[in-house]
Amino acid sequence: MAVAAADTALRLDCRVAWAETLERLAEADERIVVVVNDSVGSSNLGGFKQKFPDRTINVGIAEQNMVGVAAGLANGGRVPFVSAASCFLTARAMEQLKADVAYAGFNVKLVGQSSGIAYGELGATHHSIEDFAWLRALGPITLIAPCDAWETTEAIKWAAGHEGPVYLRLSRMKVPTLDLPGRSFTPGKAELQRPGTDVTLIANGTTVHLALAAAELLAGAGVSARVLNMHTITPLDTDAVIAAARETGAIVTVEEALDRGGLGGAVAECTSASHPVPVQRVGFPGFMPTGSIESLFKEFGLSPAGIASAARIAMRRKGN
C-alpha cells in the first residue's frame, strides 16, 4: 500500500499487535477466550492457542455458530473475542450479530481481520467494504477502526475492559505508527492529527495515512487541511465533526469501505442535521474489479492525489 512516495517509516502488521496484546490480557484475566472459524493462522493466534489451548475454541467454517457460541460464553461470564475475516464474520453471521450480540447486548468482542480490500486479488467475495454500513445500522455495537499498531493495542485493551459489544476492524496491510506526542485513545473522541482551516479530512484505519499525505500535497498548494482520525464510527465524535464544519466549511471523508453508510454517511448525517457543509465522500462505490490493492486504491481515489482532488471539489462547493 503506497501511503506516500517519501514515506520510509517502519510499517507494522496490526494483527501482530492484536495477538500480542490479547495474550498479555489473557494472562491476567482467565475469563478471556477466543472463538474462531478455522482461522487461527490468519488471525495470528498460534501463540495464543499454544499458551491457552483450553481457551481457544475453533468451531470450523461455521460463522453463525461462532457468534452464537461467543454470545453463550459471554452470557456465562466469559469475555469472548471472536476473530475471523471481516467479510465472513459480518456477512454470514449477520442474523446472529443482530439478535445474539446487538439486541441481547452481550459482552462479545468481534475482531474483523483482513478488512476492507486487504485480500486484494481475491476479489469482491473476500473484500469487506460493507461492514461499516451493516454494523453501524445495528446501533449498540461500538465500531472501531484502528489506524496503526499502537492504536490497535490500545483499542484491544479498552475493549477487554469495556462491558458491551465491540467490533474492531483490523487490516492485514502493514502501516507506519503515527508519531503524535502524548497520544491517548478514547473511544468516541476523534484524534486531531493535523490542524487546518480550509478543509477537514476525516479518515480512519489505513486511510488516515493517506489523508495525512494528501494534507501535505494540499499544503504545497497553499491549502490548510485539518486531519481527524475518526477511529470510532459508533459512537461518532459529533462535536469534532460540527467543529470541523463550522471552522473549515468543507469536509472530505476517507474510508476503505463503501462510500455510503459508514464513516461518510455518519458524517453527512451529522452535518446535515447540525451545520450543513459540503461533504465529499471518498471510498468504494460497490463491487470492484479484481486487481491489486494498490491499483484499486488508485483507481477509486484512495490516494493522496485523489483525496487532495476531493478536497478541492469540497472547497469549491462551499463557495456556492
CA 24 to chain CA mean position, Å:
23
| Nearest Cα to Cα of residue 171 among 304, 40, 63, 42 | 42
Cβ-Cβ contacts under 8 Å for 192 (sequence gap 6 or more): 226, 227, 228, 229, 240
Q: Active-site residue 163, yes or no?
A: no
C-alpha cell at 257: 469501505
C-alpha to C-alpha distance for 156 and 5, rounded to whole angstroms:
31
Of the candidates 20, 23, 30, 63, the residue annotated as catalytic is 63
C-alpha to C-alpha distance for 97 and 15, rounded to whole angstroms:
22
C-alpha to C-alpha distance for 107 and 100, rounded to whole angstroms:
10
Indicate the helix (H) or strand (E) that contains 151. helix 149-161
SS3 (DSSP) at 43: coil
C-alpha to C-alpha distance for 130 and 122, rounded to whole angstroms:
16
Rg (C-alpha) for the chain, rounded Å, is: 19
Other residues' Cβ atoms within 10 Å of the Cβ of residue 279:
23
Strands (E), the chain: 11-12, 32-36, 56-58, 79-85, 109-113, 142-144, 166-169, 175-176, 191-194, 199-203, 225-229, 232-234, 251-258, 279-284
C-alpha to C-alpha distance for 133 and 124, rounded to whole angstroms:
16
Catalytic site residues? 63
